[in-house]
Structure 1
Amino acid sequence: MASPYRKILVAIDCSDESATVLARAAGVLEGVSGELHLIHVIEPLALAYGADVPMDVTDLQSGLVEQAKQTAHQYAERYHIPDKHIYVELGSIEKTILGKADSLEADLIVVGSHTRSGLALLLGSTARGLVPGSHCDVLAVKVDKKKD
């Protein structure tokens, strides 16, 4: 029998769906001793929109980071994740998540997965993009809204 996961890195996008992703990750640890780590990655605006950003976006980006930190801490409180296990970082989303998983020696990465179109399609590609470069298992939590 495979050993249980002990160190889980949960990648959230700070949307309402982050609660679903965190709940699934916490469920994986039910009945076993382990730790949750929470990461939110903000892609630098210059990276997201090309190097030709026509204005200085430093203040805007700093505001995004501060807002993300507050939101990540709110989610972390629900699952008693200590501050030292919360990471809000600037960088390439996939590379940053994979780098953090490696540095933590995580057993599992948990990430939300969308199957919609448009912006959600881009976000869903993160889950697919993590698998080839990951040195641990990746759990993609389906977070699509249920249609009535």
Structure 2
Amino acid sequence: MLIDYRRILVAVNHSDEAHQALARAVAIAKRNHARLDILRVLDINSLQYKAGGQTAIDGEEVYDIEQEAEQDLIKLREKLLQEEGLTEDQVFVHLRFGSPRTVIVADFPAEYRNDLLVLGQTGMNALRRVTAGSVASYVTHAASCDVLIVKNKQ
């Protein structure tokens, strides 16, 4: 049975797992002629401190991080339009600040009515997963729509 997804959300960052999730989401979007929302969430907690928590990050640095992330998303969209044959009205990029868990599970899908969430398998080590939990694990349990976790192919 093939499910006809219309609005696909893929959460990305700079990890290999996110790149694999994006590739899978693109394939699903192409097969279904679906809208593809590419979301990058800048975690407020991780932006508060840098250098191992030694130095508080200032507003200018947050602005620079935001601008760089926006440019990365714009370049990614252009690449997908040129190389994957997706159309202008099919690919949308979004940048949000907040907790990735909350934004990916609740905030964004409520606004855009996504019917599939695609995420890469966590890149965390076992100890970090036990202590902090992964976004992918949380999303799998809390999402109100289908979730595809793309496993690392390495």
The TM-score by the shorter chain falls in which range?
Answer: 0.7 to 0.9
1:111 aligned to 109, 119, 144, which one?
Answer: 119
Q: Secondary structure at the match of 1:86?
A: strand
Which whole-Å deviations, capped at 9, do the CAs of 1:14-73 have from their partners, x for residues lacking one?
A: 335433221100111233221100100011147765xx9864521111111111111122
Contact 1:114 1:123 in 2 (8 A): no
Q: 2:145 maps to which residue?
A: 136
TM superposition shift of 1:115: 5.4
Whole-angstrom CA distance in 2 between matches of 1:87 and 1:36: 11
Whole-angstrom CA distance in 2 between matches of 1:103 and 1:56: 30
Whole-angstrom CA distance in 1 between matches of 2:66 and 2:30: 31
Work out which structure has the larger RCO, using CA pairs closer than 8 Å and 6 or more positions apart in sequence.
2
Contact 2:48 2:57 in 1 (8 A): no
Q: 1:100 maps to which residue?
A: 108
Return the TM-score normalized by structure 2: 0.75
Taking a change above 3 Å as real, the CA distance of residues 131 and 6 of structure 1, as seen in their structure-2 partners, is same
Which whole-Å deviations, capped at 9, do the CAs of 1:61-96 have from their partners, x for residues lacking one?
A: 111111111112222223227598211111011101
Q: How does 1:1-148 map to 2 (within 5 A)?
A: 1=1, 3-45=3-45, 55=56, 57-80=58-81, 82=88, 85-98=92-105, 99-114=107-122, 116-117=124-125, 121=129, 125-143=134-152, 146=154
Q: Tell me how many residue pairs correspond in the alignment.
A: 143
Whole-angstrom CA distance in 1 between matches of 2:57 and 2:122: 32
* Farther off after superposition, 108-117 or 98-107: 108-117
| Structure with greater helix share of residues | 2
Q: Percent identity, please.
A: 27
TM superposition shift of 1:109: 0.7
Contact 1:114 1:120 in 2 (8 A): no
Return the TM-score normalized by structure 1: 0.78
Whole-angstrom CA distance in 1 between matches of 2:112 and 2:55: 37
TM superposition shift of 1:133: 2.0
Q: Secondary structure at the match of 1:29?
A: helix
Q: 2:140 is aligned with what amino acid? A: V
RMSD between aligned alpha carbons?
Answer: 3.2
Q: Which runs of 5+ in 2 are unaligned?
A: none
